[in-house]
Structure 1
Amino acid sequence: MTTANPDFLKLQNNYLFADIARKVAAYKAAHPAQRVISLGIGDVTRPLPPAILAALHRAVEDMGEAALFRGYGPEQGYDFLRHRIIECDYATRGVRLGADEVFVSDGAKSDIGNFQELFAPNSRVAVTDPVYPVYVDSNAMAGRAGNLRGTVWDGIIYLPSTPDNDFVPEFPAVRPDIIYLCYPNNPTGAVLSRAALQAWVDYARRQNSVILYDSAYEAFITDPDVPHSIYELDGAQEVAVEFRSFSKTAGFTGLRCAYTVVPKALQISDGEGGKVSLNALWNRRQCTKYNGCPYIVQRAAEAVYSPQGQVEIKTIIAAYQKNAAQLRSAVSGMGLTVYGGLNAPYLWVSVPQGSDSWVFFDTLLQESALICTPGAGFGAAGEGYVRLTAFGAPQDTAEAIERLRRVC
């Protein structure tokens, strides 16, 4: 009989957001007349802006003309998009990259989950705690996480990121091969200053570690001391891979487009005394397992960088930032401690005394038809908190605040 991968069997039965969806579905079935407002899963709600829609329409028309039709595209992404990414997201910040260091894909989540394939099975992995579950689960599937002991994997190095250390994780006592960092952070909304991130780059260089840097929420940064890219820091191209997404920047959660930057300067051991380029390995992996992001989607992403596109997406981001500010002010006024929401679309909120994160989730759902995300789902250090998101419509955010007041 064919046998299942034993490392998959070690995983918890359900992904965090699948558990939430199941509970919400049960509530809706029992209360069909009640309108549920979600402050939970970080999905955008505003429609695609006109500049992006126009580019999509033009690209669809291209696909109907023999001279402009595109079949299989380059696995790395079309040059028209890669060059715009470099010009607008990096060159403007003093970062020099080549087009062959940028890989366009259908999402940062899939890239982050897949990138671990390039590392040896016995590589040691460090993650901040709380942590976006994909970082841990993808390594558990690959056999690097060891065994689950309660809520903790015994093969993972956890880096507490909590109010006790101002959400700046300390360097681990044990050297990691791979370090996952996400800033602005999901779920806490915390950020690292330029000096704090430089310290992590310097640490990785000393330890010959690789940083996998998730900067999917950089568009929400307003503090000038917070870098938008890890490559703004000295030496980062020698140790860091950066993952970016159009999902929250331009509302592409349903359209699907992202990119990963793998500098050629980043090399790791080949296990035989030599070194190998991560850029070359990722290129080989993508050419084998991926057929490229659709042409029409990449044309839409290109439009994000147009003058009109920039105005439109910044207007949308500003609306989400306003939601975050209103939520932060209101929740603080209810006597709950709140972090984040300043340079990020996420707010990390302490639950009322005597509760826990799943109990508070159930309370909000059952008593106010509100959805949050239990902090316990992000790791042991997440217990005692819930994550709220600012991606709702303004009227929904206002109503959610009133419902919160009735409970808190």
Structure 2
Amino acid sequence: MPLHQYHFNASISSSSSTFLAPPSAFASSSRTQNFSLPLRNSEICRCVATPQEAKTPTGASLLPVSPSFFSSSAIMYLRIAYKTSVSRNANIGKLQAGYLFPEVARRRNAHKEKYPDAQVISLGIGDTTEPIPDVITSSMSKHIFQKCQALSTLEGYSGYGAEQGEKSLRAAIRSTFYADLGINDDDIFVSDGAKCDISRLQVVFGSDVTMAVQDPSYPAYVDSSVIMGQTGQFQKDVEKYANIEYMNCTPVNGFFPDLSKSARTDIIFFCSPNNPTGAAATREQLTRLVQFAKDNGSIIVYDSAYAMYMSDDNPRSIFEIPGAREVAIETSSFSKYAGFTGVRLGWTVVPKELLFSDGFPVARDFNRVVCTCFNGASNIAQAGGLACLSPEGLKAMREVIGFYKENTEIIVDTFNSLGFKVYGGRNAPYVWVHFPGRSSWEVFAEILEKTHVVTTPGSGFGPGGEGFVRVSAFGHRANVLEACKRFRQLYK
């Protein structure tokens, strides 16, 4: 087939902030650019920037094209000659704009293109930066070498592992994090990360459950609920999805919700230490949360991904609270402990005591979903997990965590010295800075434009985050110091 040129005529917004606006926002205040892209096996077509229309005047379908495809902030529609009869998942259509962290990364990349000579420092997305400790990588390397040698022999070859994880790693997780808490090895499911397990749990719960989240909170809880069909439409006037209970967590209530004002839901997502606020729930608060779940017959999904950052004498696990095994699931990860954000290794604990309303064990359904949707974590990653939980590995992880906590102290001291109200930092690698009366995205853009430092807008974590910016402590020390120097210059 001959190679054809596709010609695109599209309106491009002059303001990057309108990327998150609805398509109709591009109907005005724009300029026109033409694009020519080579495509094969197709006929010539024209893309017009009429996002407010789903059809062309002739009735031909218009397919929305991702802005990243064109390396611009335009929303474009490509005329297509054929479409299937399969309807789009209406629940995914409810999602607003892009997922928060890819959108932050997109704006960071656009800024780099605008200022190619600037030293852009990223304190936004919570990705670790320090090398994985050598004691852990050495163990992984040794395992890889031995495994590869064995795999090349008939006697040593092995295929799929257990979907629930290697027995030795499950035992090590239990003895390290859940000793004397009534958790058994087979209550633990090893995975490729806590975020992945959140989605698998949503599959277990299905579309008919009701959901509560802290506000603000990690966006994956809400977005996975939307995708599963547990919510109504997005309500722009309040910046919330219908049918989700947003439990307001503010400085006024110590970032712990007033449970007396919270409606009953089937599932309660709760993260402590919290992302993004850095707040850690006390033993008394978690005792109230467990009792609230029992009184309402609810299930708590407790995200403990930052438990090792805890400095206060607060529970590291929900299972430290009496009765929690009857109402709670806990998910966690090696990502922020050992720098495993790319290695991908986590776990979820589903106690046998946790039952559905008909008496069926939740763990059995979770096991079925895991066995259906997952083939188990990489045995190489699991070898890294075992190395992490050795005495030497635990010591190395604590040292890395201590380094990041020193970064938080530097950031907290900087914003305090500038007169800002600052939260977090003590029990989590995040600093939650208040900019009262201002838009979070506006502050994000101001900091990026004037200091070349990437942060995260608080409103991306829910309406309760409006007016705040999250600053991550995951950064090289020199970059953190330089970023703080720029913050002082901007807000002195």
TM-score normalised by structure 1 residue count: 0.96
Q: Which residue of 1 aligns with 2:172?
A: 84
| Residues 56 and 296 in structure 1, CA contact (< 8 A), matched pair in contact too | yes
Deviations, residues 374-397 of structure 1 (Å, cap 9, x unaligned):
001111111000001111111111
Do residues 370 (structure 1) and 453 (structure 2) align?
yes
From 118, 123, 147, the counterpart of 1:63? 147
How far apart are residue 311 of structure 1 and its match? 1.5
Deviations, residues 110-163 of structure 1 (Å, cap 9, x unaligned):
101220111242211011101211000101011111110012111101100001
Do residues 25 (structure 1) and 109 (structure 2) align?
yes
Helix, strand or coil at the partner of 1:23: helix
Q: Distance in 2 between matches of 1:330 and 1:139?
A: 37
Q: Which residue of 2 aligns with 1:187?
A: 276
Of structures 1 and 2, the one with the larger relative CO (CA 8 A, separation 6+) is: 1
| Residues 333 and 346 in structure 2, CA contact (< 8 A), matched pair in contact too | yes
| Residues 63 and 70 in structure 1, CA contact (< 8 A), matched pair in contact too | no
Q: Distance in 2 between matches of 1:403 and 1:173?
A: 41
Q: Aligned-residue CA RMSD in angstroms?
A: 1.1
Q: Which residue of 1 aligns with 2:209?
A: 123
| Residues 459 and 468 in structure 2, CA contact (< 8 A), matched pair in contact too | yes
How far apart are residue 276 of structure 1 and its match? 1.1
| Residues 361 and 371 in structure 1, CA contact (< 8 A), matched pair in contact too | yes
From 338, 341, 344, the counterpart of 1:253? 341
Q: Which residue of 1 aligns with 2:244?
A: 156
Q: Which residue of 2 aligns with 1:138?
A: 224
How far apart are residue 307 of structure 1 and its match? 1.5
Deviations, residues 250-300 of structure 1 (Å, cap 9, x unaligned):
11001000000000000012xxxx221110000001111100001111011
Structure 2: runs of 5 or more not aligned: 1-84
| Residues 106 and 256 in structure 1, CA contact (< 8 A), matched pair in contact too | yes
Q: Which structure's CA Rg is the greater one? A: 2
Q: Which residue of 2 aligns with 1:382?
A: 465
Deviations, residues 39-78 of structure 1 (Å, cap 9, x unaligned):
1000000111111111111111122223444421100000
Do residues 331 (structure 1) and 415 (structure 2) align?
yes
- Higher deviation after alignment, 61-70 or 110-119: 61-70
- Higher deviation after alignment, 63-72 or 315-324: 63-72
Q: Which residue of 1 aligns with 2:28?
A: none
How far apart are residue 310 of structure 1 and its match? 1.5
Q: Distance in 1 between matches of 2:258 and 2:376?
A: 38
Q: Distance in 1 between matches of 2:279 and 2:311?
A: 13
Question: Counterpart amino acid of 1:145?
Answer: T
Helix, strand or coil at the partner of 1:127: strand
Do residues 15 (structure 1) and 99 (structure 2) align?
yes
| Residues 303 and 309 in structure 1, CA contact (< 8 A), matched pair in contact too | yes
Deviations, residues 325-375 of structure 1 (Å, cap 9, x unaligned):
111111111111100000111111012x55321111011111100000000
From 384, 394, 398, the counterpart of 2:477? 394
Helix, strand or coil at the partner of 1:243: strand
Q: Distance in 2 between matches of 1:76 and 1:390?
A: 33
Q: Distance in 1 between matches of 2:336 and 2:263?
A: 34
Percent identity, aligned pairs only, is 41
Do residues 268 (structure 1) and 356 (structure 2) align?
yes
Structure 1: runs of 5 or more not aligned: none
Task: Note the 1:85-124 alignment, pairs <5 A.
Answer: 85-91=173-179, 94-124=180-210
Q: Distance in 2 between matches of 1:334 and 1:68?
A: 62
Deviations, residues 173-229 of structure 1 (Å, cap 9, x unaligned):
4211000000000000011100100110111111110000000000100111x1000
| Residues 118 and 281 in structure 1, CA contact (< 8 A), matched pair in contact too | yes
Helix, strand or coil at the partner of 2:285: helix
TM-score normalised by structure 2 residue count: 0.80
Task: Note the 1:155-304 alignment, pairs <5 A.
Answer: 155-171=243-259, 172-224=261-313, 226-269=314-357, 274-304=358-388
Q: Distance in 2 between matches of 1:68 and 1:98?
A: 30
Q: Which residue of 2 aligns with 1:360?
A: 443
| Residues 81 and 302 in structure 1, CA contact (< 8 A), matched pair in contact too | yes
| Residues 245 and 262 in structure 2, CA contact (< 8 A), matched pair in contact too | no
Helix, strand or coil at the partner of 2:432: strand
Q: Distance in 2 between matches of 1:402 and 1:231?
A: 42
Question: Counterpart amino acid of 1:330?
Answer: T
Question: Counterpart amino acid of 2:322?
Answer: D
Q: Decide whether aligned partners of structure 1 residues 149 and 389 sit closer, same or farther in structure 2, where only a CA change above 3 A counts.
A: same
Helix, strand or coil at the partner of 2:252: helix
Q: Decide whether aligned partners of structure 1 residues 23 and 120 sit closer, same or farther in structure 2, where only a CA change above 3 A counts.
A: closer
Do residues 52 (structure 1) and 136 (structure 2) align?
yes
Question: Counterpart amino acid of 2:298?
Answer: S
Q: Decide whether aligned partners of structure 1 residues 95 and 384 sit closer, same or farther in structure 2, where only a CA change above 3 A counts.
A: same
Structure 1 runs of 4+ aligned residues shifted over 6 Å read: none
| Residues 350 and 386 in structure 1, CA contact (< 8 A), matched pair in contact too | yes
| Residues 212 and 267 in structure 2, CA contact (< 8 A), matched pair in contact too | yes
| Residues 125 and 144 in structure 1, CA contact (< 8 A), matched pair in contact too | yes
From 42, 46, 63, the counterpart of 2:126? 42
